[in-house]
Amino acid sequence: MSKSYKEVLERIVSRLEGHPLPLPVHAPLRFVDRVREAKAILDEGEKVVLNGMITVLYGPKGCGKTSLFKVLYEVVTSMEDTDVDMVIVSSEKEAWKAEKLYVPRSLDEILKEVKGILGFNITPTGEVTSTLAIDATKIISLMVGYIARMLRDGRKVIIVLDEVKADSGERLAEFRGWLEGFANTLLWDAGKYWMEKGGSISVVALTSDAMVKEIRNRVGSKVNWALMWNLPYNAMMELAEQLNLSIDPELLWRLTGGNPRALINIKVAGLKEWVKSDVIRRLVDALEDASTSIPGDKLWVEVERAVDNIDVAHVHLKTAMLRHNVAVYVAGGVPISELPREDWVREYYAYQMPAFYHALKVALARRSPYVTPDDVIGEAESS
């Protein structure tokens, strides 16, 4: 990394801390921590986001992937002379519904032709919308080629596909096909072309669907895989203070493990309602799913194994917990966050939040997934 870009990186990172968060909550929130993650994303020396490559960035549901990139976008586009451009294709709902693009001023002219093809409408704030029945991945496929061939100056361009859905066999197959085709042809060619101009162009696909693990072995080294985690303890404390949560910080950590969305949902709905709707419901769905393949008492034998060490649990139970975002495969990518060293995080798999681990322990003791919020909270307090 050149000295000039290192200075740019430091300026970007310095503006992250305290930046307003783009979240739909009543109280204004400020960005906390995530310096380590931002540096890993922006510095090619970290080998996470590389020229001519697609990076699949995954992690626990609600750990802050989208918020990180939206804040990065706002910081980068507000600065002069950064030589960094970031385009965000937002597909938080289904990919074939209305798409949103957040386009920096420096790329606006280049994307006019693409916007014309796709029927985009751009607003003064840089938000571009389209209601055409076109997948977000197709939008990116078109954009990369235009950017690489039309932008004259060598710049670092990062295109972000937000919230990729890979929650079914059909969607997994579509995503795998796009990754393979895009990595083999367009992005590789465009990356080489753009590198000759002294710049870099890369794509980051964000997902919370842990079932993406199912395609990792088939795609192989054509794609980079990176893992982002929840907030560390001190950063969780800072966010909890901003939210004015009057709950024992140790209990918050033992339940949320620093998951930002969990903290916000606790503020909005209350602790017990959050445990009921966001934890117990997902665990019940996962265990009912697993029971179709692991019948009767055998299921509870496997649950006991999962409580002792999720790595050695039955594959059908782990698959069910992955499918319902109870667990996540942590060995699939380079970690850009520090993972906690606790019983609910193992070498290959982890619970997305410790609340799932505590709820599973209670379910095992009762031999029933239908536990109460008080059960789960009590187990967390006593651990």
Distance between CA atoms of residues 378 and 383, nearest Å:
9
Write out the chain's pLDDT in tens, 383 residues: 555 778 888 888 888 888 888 765 556 788 888 999 999 999 888 889 988 888 999 999 999 998 899 899 989 888 877 888 888 887 644 443 455 677 777 777 776 666 666 666 656 556 666 655 556 677 777 777 777 777 666 788 898 888 777 767 777 777 777 787 777 766 777 777 777 777 788 889 888 876 677 777 777 677 889 999 999 999 999 999 999 999 999 999 999 999 999 999 999 999 999 999 999 999 999 999 999 999 888 999 999 999 999 999 999 999 999 989 999 999 988 999 999 999 999 999 999 999 999 999 999 999 999 999 999 999 999 98
How long a stretch of residues is the chain? 383
Query: What domains, with CATH codes, occur in the chain?
Result: 3-227 (3.40.50), 233-382 (no CATH)
**Residue 350: closest CA among 323, 328, 321:** 328
Helices and strands in the chain: count of H runs, count of E runs? 18, 11
What letters, b where the CB count within 10 A reaches 16 and e where it falls short, cover 55-70? bbbbbbbbbbbbbbbb
Distance between CA atoms of residues 231 and 327, nearest Å:
17
Distance between CA atoms of residues 235 and 21, nearest Å:
14
Helix axes 297-308, 281-291, angle to 10 degrees: 130
Give per-residue pLDDT as tens, 286-332.
999 999 999 888 999 999 999 999 999 999 999 999 989 999 999 98
pLDDT of residue 199: 78
Distance between CA atoms of residues 132 and 118, nearest Å:
7
pLDDT of residue 215: 75
